[in-house]
Every structure is written in structure tokens, then in C-alpha cells.
Structure 1
Amino acid sequence: MSEPPSHDPNSQHSQPEPSVQQRNSGSSGVGQQAAGTAKGIFQFQWIGNTFNFFFGGASESFTPQQEEHNRKALLAKVKNYWIKGVLEKSLYHQVLIELGLEERPDAIPHPLSEISEIDEDSPQPLREGTKVIEIFDKIGTGATLLILGEPGSGKTTTLLKLAQDLIARAEQDTNQLIPVVFNLSYWTNKRDMIPDWLLEKVGNKSYLPKEIRETLVKKRRLLPFADWLVEELGNKYDVPNKIGKTLVKKQRLLPLLDGLDEVKVEYRDDCIATLNKFKQDYGAELVVCSRIKDYEALSNRLNFQQAVYIRLLTSKQVGHYLDSFGDYFTGLRTLIKKDKEWKKLAQSPLMLNIMTLAYQGVAVEDLPRIDVVEERRKQLFDAYIKKMFKRRKTNQRYKKAQVKHWLIWMAQRMVEESQTVFLIEKMQPYWLVNIKQKRIYRLMGGLMAALMFGLMAALMFGLMAALMFGLMFGLIFRLEDSEIETKITLNQGIRKSLCNAITVSLKVWLMVVLTGGLMGGLMGGLTGGLTGGLMVGLIEGLFLGLMNGGQACIQHFSLRLVLYFNNCIPWNYARFLDYAADRIFLQKVGGGYIFIHRMLMEHFAEMKPEN
């Protein structure tokens, strides 16, 4: 397969910029002609070499050994995050029922439909026991597959089983593509034409006509899917940008895309258009999952080769499953046989499993009798939540009301932002719900910056300078409601942002001390030069450190404090999320967390916060 030409809209950033040494080498030539001395050349080259020692860029090419290492590392992360972390711990893993599949040719446009009539649009059941990997293999090279199903039918599980089979192959054969799971809920319709920070400022200016603001928003160009893949590789799998670009450009990935229906409604058709263009430009193999009703409601269709639908469980399958537990579910089995609505709920593998977890050993007369299906579903999830609290009687670190309150807040924010995987560092200032919270958040960032720069200035220049520096930098770094940048160059996450800020500060400080001290020593004495270098280096190092991760840390810490004092989150958030995962409300995926199912997340989001 030939390699497609790069169409990165930010191609100017994908090319390594000339090093400072290269730029300064040219400058030194001009200085030699102008001054006619070798001293200028030496000084410029020395400064350039010193800068490159600290900040020199790495080569964009990789040796075969490096490529193999990168491949194995990514495969291991996908396997650990999604197979060991999700599939093997999922509720579906307990329901040992073979899900039925059927072909859905009506879900995708036929390539010959415009020149001839295609009659075979009706669903075609596949033989019992057919696995999705068999369907994928049958399509052949360049396979594209759409997996459809009802809520709770096992779409994500089916996708992860496919990932499991593909990973096993890729581990044995280096010629196989690397299967990587992505969630499309993070795909958004935005990009370069107008910067996000400007759009946000414009959007907040109510004095501008509404038509102008809406036009500016519409001017944003779609994010090319290749760029989105690179970003997600960095955000979710910690893959450096240059490695991600190489993997995408050289077509080494097999994206497994879950949650097309979780993309914000207004962006779904655009998302399909972007996927179709990516497939056309790259000839890529793709697999996409979606709820069938959400997909059928769209005007666009994926130009894929095949679509399959996961069939609901039959009464026979449900009966055999419950019978396999003996007398544990006698009451539930009787109710399902007598009540049509309970029988309908049990056709979903998710709901059947929740029934078995919530109503184990419950007599038929004690089971709830509610006529409205949605109310039954809510009651079933409530029973599941109650049961999960009872299953873990040890380590009762939090009260039940606290856990429910924090999970409700978390679910509401995730539903509002169409998020599936929750990352602590992805919390944003616009999650603050009232004016008071936002004002406190803005002030905290300015106070922190004022304290840092003020104390530094007091040590070096005195009290008046401390007041001046503190006020100036406090105003500069006063926090806005803008998005917290969690991607700092190649580093992801708040901890890495902090490490990045400290590293940059120390490098700049040391470089300025060395260069400033040497040059100042030559001109005004060693002591004065070193003192000046220390002072200037400290200021520049701290400032650049804030620009390269430090400000993100301040923003995040300020946001966490405001949310904590408003009882939206606990102090140790990571420990709480692990606690919720231990009670099977959440599952850990890499550095993030997901609810055990989207339907449970939606249930929490609809609940009223606990007092």
C-alpha cells in the first residue's frame, strides 16, 4: 500500500524547526563579516551549543529497534488498559452467552447502488457461534466494519473481543497492524481557522451581534482524523507526538473506535464525514461501534464494507443462563416468565447481569412490580447500587451518601461533555456551576503567582519590588475560565506538567547563570556576573516554567481546591475513584476511569445529588 501524502493542517509544526545553533551559525557569519573577529563566532557558537545541550531536538527518524520497541510498548498498553483492565473485569465477562450477529447491509451505502438496484437490504442472520474476528477476516485487506446494537447489547465487549484477537496476532507477527482502542466521544468539531482562546473571548462578549459570534464559530475547520489520532495517542496512551505521527503516517495502526453515538449530536454527521475522508485518503482499516437508533437518525453513512448488528438475547438463552445457577434465581426466573416487561429487559446482556447481581436469592414476592419500563430500569439500577455497597463491607472509608453524591456530580459532568473516560487532569474550569465558584477560582491563580514572584523579588530586590512584581505577575496569571492545557509539548497529565515546568525552569536558570555569569564576569567581574546571572536566571526560569506546564498545575490545583470546598469532589480523588472501582461502579482504564456501562453513568447523571 502506497503511503499517502501528508495533509496535516499544522504541517509547519510537524517539520523540525532549525536548531538555535543552526540559526546562530548563520548569524555568526554575518557578525564575522561585520566585525571581522573570531570572537563573535566563538561566542555565538558557544551559546548555541549550550542551548542545544539543554533543548536540542531529537531526530524524527527511528531505527528498526526503536520502531519495534515503540510497537511493543503500545501493544502492551492497549492490552493492559482494555483487555486486562476492562474486558476481563466487565459485567459481560460473567454472562457466558454467545451473542448472535446478523449482517445489516442497509446500514452502509452499496458502492454500486447509484448505477443498479440492490435488493438484498434486509437483515441476514449469521450462523450461530460466528465471531466478529471471522467477519473481519472475511472482508480482507483494508477491512472496514461497523458494529451496531441496542443499549446494553454488548457492543463494546464485542469490540474488545476483536481487539483481544487482533492483539494476539500482532504480538506474534510484526507485519500485523497495531489495534488501538479509541473513544469517539472525545472527537469534536474544531480546529485552526480561529484559535479556541479567541473564540472563547468572542463568545463571552455579549455586545457582539449573535450572527457574528455564530459565524466565527462556524469558520472553524474540521479536525483531520489523522491529527485527532495523534492527539489521542498522546492523551490516552502517552505516545510522544513524533512517534504518533509516524505510526499514523506509515499506516501502522488499526483504529477500533467505540461510541459514535457518544459524539455530541451536532457533530456526529461531521464525524462520519471525517472518518470517510480518512478512510479514503489513507486506505485505512477501521472498526466503529454505535447504538443503532442513533446511527439510523443521522443523514450521513459510513462508507464501510460491512455492518453487523448484535441481536438481543432469546428467551431460550435467558432461561438456560438462569438455569445454570440452580436455585439462586428461582424468583427472578419465575418473574421473567410471567411478566413481558421483565422478559424484555432480560434480553439485554447488561440488564440480565445486573438482575442476577441485584436479585440473587430474592423471592418472587419480594421483587418489584412496576408497570413503566423506564421506571423498572431505574429501580433495577438502584437495586444494583444498593447491592454493590453491601458486597464490600470492609474498608468503609466513605459514607454511602458521599459516594453517591460525588459519583452523581462526576456523571453529570461527563454526560454534559460527552465524555466516556474520566481523567482527573481533564477537569475544566467550566465545570464550576456558579459565579461565586468561578470568581474564587480566578483569584486563586493570581494569588499563587503573586506569592511566587513576590517572594522571589523580595529576596533579591526588597519589599517594594516584591509588591510591584507580585501585583504585575498576579494580574498576568490571574486565571480565566479557559480550558486547562493538559498537553504540554510531549508530556501528558498534571504530574508530567509539573515535572516539565520544573525541568524547564532549572534548564533556563542554569543556562542563564552560565552564559550571563561568563559574559558578565568578562565585562564586570566574576562576582557581579554570577549574581546577575542568578537573579535573571531565577526570574526567566520561573516565568518559562509557568509557561511550560507550571500554569496548568496552578490552574488544576486551584480548580481542585474550589471543587473540594464545594463538596463536588473528595480531597484524595484518585483514592476515591479506586474505592468506587472496587465496588464495581467504575473500571480503571490506564490513567482514567469509566463507569461499568454508559447506562449506569446516565442513571447516576439523572439522580439528584445527595445532601
Structure 2
Amino acid sequence: MRRVATVVLSVVCVTLLGVATNVATGALPARWTPHLWLAWPALVVVVAALTVVEVRRARESAPVTGVTATHARRVLLDRVRRYWITSVLERSLHREARIQLGITASADDRRYPWTLRATHRGGFTGVLDGGASVAGLFERLDRAVVILGAPGSGKTTTLLELARELIDAAERDPDAPIPVVLNLSSWATRRPPLEQWLAAELTERYGIPSRQASAWIESGAILPLLDGLDEVVATRRDECAAAIAAFHARQPLTPIAVCCREWEYRQLRAGLPVYGTVTIQPLTRPQIERYLDRSGPALAGLRAALTADEGLWEFTGSPLLLTIMGLAYADGPGPTAGPGGRRTRLFTRYVETMLRHRPHPTYRPEQAIQYLSVLGHELRRRQQTIFVLDLVASDWSPRWVTPSADLLSRALASVAVGGLVALLGAGLLGWPGLAVGATAGALTALGLALAEYENLVLIASRERRPEDRRPLRVDWVTDTARELRAVAGNTGITWATVAAALVVGLAFGLTDELPGWPGMLAELAYWLGFLLATLLALAVTGATLFDLYLVGPPGGAPRREIPSPALRQRLRSAAMGAPPLGLVTGALAALLVGSARTGADGLRYGAVVGAFAASYLLVAVALGPVTEQWLVRRRLARDGVLPRPLRPFLDYAVQCLFLRDVGDGYIFVHRELLEFFADRLTRPSTQVVPRP
């Protein structure tokens, strides 16, 4: 039925387009000639309506064909491999440390030094050692497992080893499910059913169209590899486990693997209803000594440190800490005493050693540590693991006690809109146009303060998106009508708009030479045209922001930092919405004023009012936040909080084995390193972001 209605509406619009064109350009009776100009605004309205109809028809496309689904499958497999296997697993701290230390692999080397113990709920128990296949163990456990271990034991690495083998299998077999690695820490921000969260993550992290992602999940074509159940905020961890269990109950044939720290998993009210459990065993002393012997002189410094301080052996059971110790003591044993405990001294020695071995001409070691400390602190404060540029906001600086960048950007946006409209108005309308410009600037300032507007802090907050996020089909008519009712219900905005429109009407009335009722009707037309344009601008802005609120941030990793990816998405959306809004509001104002005065007066007034409506949408959706972002990044660099530009430093931290780049963001090589840097922050902590 929707398709039939859309086709009928399209035919009507095309017919009206032809009629309006003939009326505007054809020969008509002489008595119609004074009103001929009315056809041009009508033509603009019909063209805008036809554009909207065609856009809606394009979005109501047919289901994804086999060809595009096959292409999307190849794209997803390639991105999972590049993001997690090439960028993370093959550049893991363990592997990078071997390269850094010059440890050569021998034929009898194991891929990793730890042992996996597997338990099936049907009674099977086994140990994976040597070069055995993780995917083979996954099959023996009926392809539904939870991977447990202590911090730094190798859980994520084991999960990625499984991902690599499953990707290889999926590339050989087109019917095999597509393994997708996702971090569960973002689930708690909205807490939707797992199917919806998976679809949203496939769209955001991997750029898969939402309809294709939903179809794959529903058909069981996606194999979720979920990392970081322990990284979900503690108050939501049981809910997250319940959501995973509900998903597995609804789709029992869909394979799944989940990673969690062992202690946090044991604290859950109910474990996951999977078939098997894989527990990573701590390294034993014989394993460690065999590893040290095989490494030869590359780990002579670590052997000397263990001899000098017997207490360091307590950390060697963790593969992560063993690797860090190999790098930290590459130059020999350090002092056995100092501030903090042994673990803190170990991480401190590691950071100092890596910065000393890989110096940078721009970032001094103390600066690099400060920047990483800020990064770790803010990720922990927001309970996130992946850093993206959109997270940077004004509340990152302790010296900003007031939102000065936010206020300044709103003020600059208001002045810019008022100045633009005043210049255009003065050129087309005379001095009353200056009054229109001043009123437009004042209404812009009021709208940005009282109506829909999102500053960087709100844009950076993932909690703002609704929990029932779904593949979205934008309905501009419905959304605009809803927002128009919301604007009308805002008493302050409504009365301010009415008063501002009265000011515009009076400004034209003072210069109008029409006496009596014609003059009053002209003033009413100016007033009503400006009022309708302002209300529509506020409503369309609210609808645009709501649609962005539902769609969420884009994927990709552009090198340009300002505007960031989310703001670049807003610029595109505003640039697409501003011209139609300007045309429609301008046409309405032109019709009203032209019917009371002349067609030329109506067209000039419509151009000014349309420019105001389009400019308001641009600054409220995109240009205001972009200005704020530019001010914030300058201030953060001046305060020594973060460098500008930021990406070169993040890439340097990757070279120093502190961070890893994952898709469009960066993560610390391990959460323990994140916690270490976050605890080192030498400034007053900011207020913790509340969770819903």
C-alpha cells in the first residue's frame, strides 16, 4: 500500500510540475497577468515535494540481491581481518616484543606460551597445548563457548586466533557464518536486545548497511565473537549476560564465543548457557624458564632482574606482564624499590624504556605520558575501551569550569546568521532588511539556547541514543510535524517567535506607503511569513537532530580531525536539508507577501526569509558544533591536555606499543595499561559521567 501511495503521489507531483511550468511561461488571459508570478513559488514547492517523494522511493529499495550480499560478505570478512587480525593480532604486544627484542622463532616454538583447558557441559575435558587449532577446540565444544582467564592471560589473543581460523574457513566456504569481533563495553550504553546491538555495531564499526546486517543476524549468518564481558559496567553486567543468553535461546544454532575475566564471570548471577568453557591457565615456572631459555640472550636483562628481585616471579604467570617485563628490563635490572608497588614500578619501567628506545622530536617523554594519562582517564570515566575523535569534548580540560567554547560557538553562530541575513536584507529590502537580520540573529541565539541543539559533550555521549534503535527510514513529514508540535508547546520559543515576527512586520509597516487595510494586510503578510519560516526552521532542525540521534555515528577513519567523523556526517545532513528548507520557507513567505503587495516584493522577501531558515539549520546542526570543536581542540592543546593535531601522537603511541589502531579508533594494548595511565593523571579528576 505504501508503494502504491508513493507512486500515485509521484504522478500527481509530475503533473502539477508540468501545469505550473505552463502557467509560469505560457500565454494567459490579460486579467491573470498580475498574478502570474504566483506560479513560480508554486513551482518551487512542487519541485521540492517531488524531490522528497523520489528520495523516499529510492530508500524503499528492493531487498538486497545475491550479488550485493556476496560483495558485502567479502567486504565484511576483509574488514574483520584488517581491523583485528592484521592490526591487532599480528601486531600484538607479544609479537611486537619478540621483534623489538630480536627473538627469533624456532621450529619447535609454540605460537603462544600459555595452556588452554576446555570443559564441555556434556563431560568432555581436554587441554590444548602446542600448535593445536583453537577452531578445532571450538568445534569440539559445539561452537558455543566462553573464554575465561585472569587479567593479561591472553583471552583476547585466543579469541583473535579463533577469529583468524574462522575467517580462513569462511573465505573457503561461502555458506560458513561470518566471524565478527565486537567489544561488549558499548552494549551498556543502550542495553538493547543483542540482535539490535549486533546490527548497530555492524553498521557503525564495519560500515555494513543496516538492512543487510539485520538480515544476516536473523538468518544466523553472523558468528559473534564478543570480547570484554568484564568491561561492561558492573551494574549492567548481569543484564548483558542475560541479553546474550536470550539471544542464544532465540538462535541456538548460531555459533558464539564470549570472553570474560574469570573472577568477574564467577560473580554473575547466572552463567552463560553455552556448551563449553575454555579457561586459560597461568604460566607455570617450568614453562617460564623454558620460554626464557629458548629466547636466548634477548631476555638476559629479564633473567638478571628475576635473579636480583625474587618477588618479580609473582608477575610472570601472566603472559602480558611477562612480555612487558621482557621489554622493561631489556637494558638490565632496575631499582628494586621506589614509589608504588612492584606492578606500578614494572609498568613505569616499561613506559620509560619504550619512550627512551623510540624518542620523538615533538613529544617529550613527560608530555607523552601526560597525554596518555588523559586518554586513559577519559576512557575509564566514560567506561569505554575504543577511543575515537568524537569523544573529545570541552570537559576534558580541568581548567574549563564553564562551558566557554559552547557559549562562544553559539554566540558566533548567532552573529553569523544575523549578519548574513542583514546584509542580504539590506541589499534586497532596504533598511527593513536590517531589522530582519537583527531579529534573525536574536532568534538564532534564543533557539540555540532553548530549542534543539547539541554541543560536543552531548555528541560525545553515547548514552543519548535510544535503546530501541532500529534500521531507520526517515519520514520527514511525520518527524517535522512532531517537532512542530514540540516547538509550539515550548512557550518561551513560541512567544519569542511571535514577538520577533511582529517586529519584522512593524519594520515594514513603517516604510509601507499602502494606506488603510491594504497596508495592514501587508504588515500581516510580512509577520506571518517570518513566523511560519521560523517555526518550520525550528521544526526541521529538531527532526534532523532526531534522525541523527537514531542513526548514530558513522564508521571510517578519515585523517582530517576537524570536523570529526560525526560532525562531518552532520555537515552532510545539514547541507542536504538546508536548500529544500530555504526554498519551501522562502516560497511560503513570497506567496504571502506577493499576494498583499507585488510579486517582486514577495520574491525579494522570500529570498531573505529562506536564507534565514537555511542558515539556522546549518548552524544548529553542524556549524555551531564544528566551531566549538575547533575552539576546544585549540584550548586543549594550549592547556597541555592533548596535542593538536592528535592523530600523529596516537600513531606514535602505537609505535611505542602503548596503543593499537582498530578500524576508526584506538585501544590500549591492554586494559591494565589503560588503568595504569589513568591512575597517573596529575590533575583533578572531572565529574564521572552518569550512566542511565
TM-score scaled by length of structure 1:
0.78
1:52 corresponds to: 53
- Structure 1 residue 451 corresponds to structure 2 residue 451: no
The answer as to whether partners of 1:225 and 1:275 remain within 8 angstroms in 2 is yes
Aligned partners of 1:536 and 1:44: how far apart in 2?
Answer: 15
Deviation at 1:70, TM superposition (A): 1.1
The answer as to whether partners of 1:146 and 1:289 remain within 8 angstroms in 2 is yes
Q: Secondary structure at the match of 1:483?
A: helix
- Relative to 1, partners in 2 of residues 1:56 and 1:165: Cα closer, same or farther, differing over 3 Å? same
Aligned partners of 2:573 and 2:305: how far apart in 1?
Answer: 65
| Identity in percent | 29
Aligned partners of 2:309 and 2:117: how far apart in 1?
Answer: 28
Residues 4-57 of structure 1 deviation map (CA, whole Å, 9 limit, x = unaligned): xxxxxxxxxxxx98799568569989x9xxxxxx99999987553232345654
The answer as to whether partners of 1:508 and 1:537 remain within 8 angstroms in 2 is no
- Structure 1 residue 317 corresponds to structure 2 residue 287: yes
- Structure 1 residue 473 corresponds to structure 2 residue 444: yes
1:205 corresponds to: none
Map 1:7-406 onto structure 2 (within 5 A).
Answer: 21=6, 24=9, 47-53=48-54, 56-58=57-59, 59=61, 61-93=63-95, 94=97, 96-104=111-119, 125-126=127-128, 128-140=130-142, 143-188=143-188, 190=190, 222-283=191-252, 284-336=254-306, 340-362=310-332, 366-370=333-337, 375-393=341-359, 395-406=360-371
Deviation at 1:268, TM superposition (A): 0.4
- Relative to 1, partners in 2 of residues 1:369 and 1:330: Cα closer, same or farther, differing over 3 Å? same
Aligned partners of 2:263 and 2:338: how far apart in 1?
Answer: 24
- Relative to 1, partners in 2 of residues 1:247 and 1:403: Cα closer, same or farther, differing over 3 Å? same
> In the alignment, residue 185 of structure 2 is paired with which amino acid?
S
> In the alignment, residue 257 of structure 2 is paired with which amino acid?
V
> In the alignment, residue 298 of structure 1 is paired with which amino acid?
L
- Relative to 1, partners in 2 of residues 1:355 and 1:507: Cα closer, same or farther, differing over 3 Å? closer
Aligned partners of 2:371 and 2:672: how far apart in 1?
Answer: 17
Aligned partners of 2:275 and 2:54: how far apart in 1?
Answer: 51
Residues 479-512 of structure 1 deviation map (CA, whole Å, 9 limit, x = unaligned): 6686216866476165454444444444445446
Query: Could you tell me which of 650, 655, 665 is aligned with 1:582?
Result: 655
2:644 corresponds to: 571
Aligned partners of 1:547 and 1:51: how far apart in 2?
Answer: 22
2:475 corresponds to: none
Q: Secondary structure at the match of 2:295?
A: coil
1:116 corresponds to: none
Residues 149-179 of structure 1 deviation map (CA, whole Å, 9 limit, x = unaligned): 1111111111111111111111222111111
- Relative to 1, partners in 2 of residues 1:229 and 1:555: Cα closer, same or farther, differing over 3 Å? farther
Residues 203-252 of structure 1 deviation map (CA, whole Å, 9 limit, x = unaligned): xxxxxxxxxxxxxxxxxxx4111111122223222333333223322322
Deviates more, 1:584-593 or 1:234-243: 234-243
2:404 corresponds to: 440
Deviates more, 1:550-559 or 1:245-254: 550-559
Aligned partners of 1:43 and 1:332: how far apart in 2?
Answer: 76
Residues 86-107 of structure 1 deviation map (CA, whole Å, 9 limit, x = unaligned): 11111122565342111256xx
> In the alignment, residue 276 of structure 1 is paired with which amino acid?
A
Aligned partners of 1:252 and 1:144: how far apart in 2?
Answer: 15
Aligned partners of 1:609 and 1:255: how far apart in 2?
Answer: 39
Deviation at 1:548, TM superposition (A): 5.3
Report how many residues are paired: 537
Deviates more, 1:443-452 or 1:506-515: 506-515
Aligned partners of 2:4 and 2:635: how far apart in 1?
Answer: 42
The answer as to whether partners of 1:501 and 1:545 remain within 8 angstroms in 2 is no
Deviation at 1:563, TM superposition (A): 3.4
Aligned partners of 1:507 and 1:291: how far apart in 2?
Answer: 47
Deviation at 1:145, TM superposition (A): 0.9
- Relative to 1, partners in 2 of residues 1:25 and 1:269: Cα closer, same or farther, differing over 3 Å? same
- Structure 1 residue 424 corresponds to structure 2 residue 426: no
Deviates more, 1:300-309 or 1:479-488: 479-488
Deviates more, 1:157-166 or 1:537-546: 537-546
Aligned partners of 1:335 and 1:507: how far apart in 2?
Answer: 63
The answer as to whether partners of 1:25 and 1:45 remain within 8 angstroms in 2 is no
The answer as to whether partners of 2:166 and 2:179 remain within 8 angstroms in 1 is yes
RMSD (Å) for aligned C-alpha atoms:
3.7
Unaligned runs of at least 5 residues, structure 2? 17-22, 25-38, 99-110, 426-432, 463-547, 556-562, 685-692
The answer as to whether partners of 2:9 and 2:53 remain within 8 angstroms in 1 is no
Map 1:459-608 onto structure 2 (within 5 A).
Answer: 459-461=423-425, 462-478=433-449, 483-484=458-459, 489=551, 492=554, 495-511=564-580, 531=604, 534-546=607-619, 549-550=622-623, 552-554=625-627, 556-608=629-681
Aligned partners of 2:129 and 2:201: how far apart in 1?
Answer: 37
Q: Secondary structure at the match of 1:609?
A: coil
> In the alignment, residue 419 of structure 1 is paired with which amino acid?
Q
- Relative to 1, partners in 2 of residues 1:286 and 1:537: Cα closer, same or farther, differing over 3 Å? farther
The answer as to whether partners of 2:377 and 2:677 remain within 8 angstroms in 1 is yes
TM-score scaled by length of structure 2:
0.69
Aligned partners of 1:19 and 1:156: how far apart in 2?
Answer: 51
Aligned partners of 2:598 and 2:296: how far apart in 1?
Answer: 91
Residues 244-296 of structure 1 deviation map (CA, whole Å, 9 limit, x = unaligned): 22332232211111111111011100100011111112233211111111111
Deviation at 1:144, TM superposition (A): 1.2
Aligned partners of 1:427 and 1:560: how far apart in 2?
Answer: 8
- Relative to 1, partners in 2 of residues 1:496 and 1:528: Cα closer, same or farther, differing over 3 Å? farther
Residues 408-429 of structure 1 deviation map (CA, whole Å, 9 limit, x = unaligned): 0110111122211111113355
The answer as to whether partners of 2:45 and 2:584 remain within 8 angstroms in 1 is no
- Relative to 1, partners in 2 of residues 1:503 and 1:380: Cα closer, same or farther, differing over 3 Å? closer
The answer as to whether partners of 2:10 and 2:50 remain within 8 angstroms in 1 is no
- Relative to 1, partners in 2 of residues 1:296 and 1:518: Cα closer, same or farther, differing over 3 Å? closer
Aligned partners of 2:6 and 2:346: how far apart in 1?
Answer: 66
Q: Secondary structure at the match of 2:403?
A: helix
- Relative to 1, partners in 2 of residues 1:228 and 1:562: Cα closer, same or farther, differing over 3 Å? farther
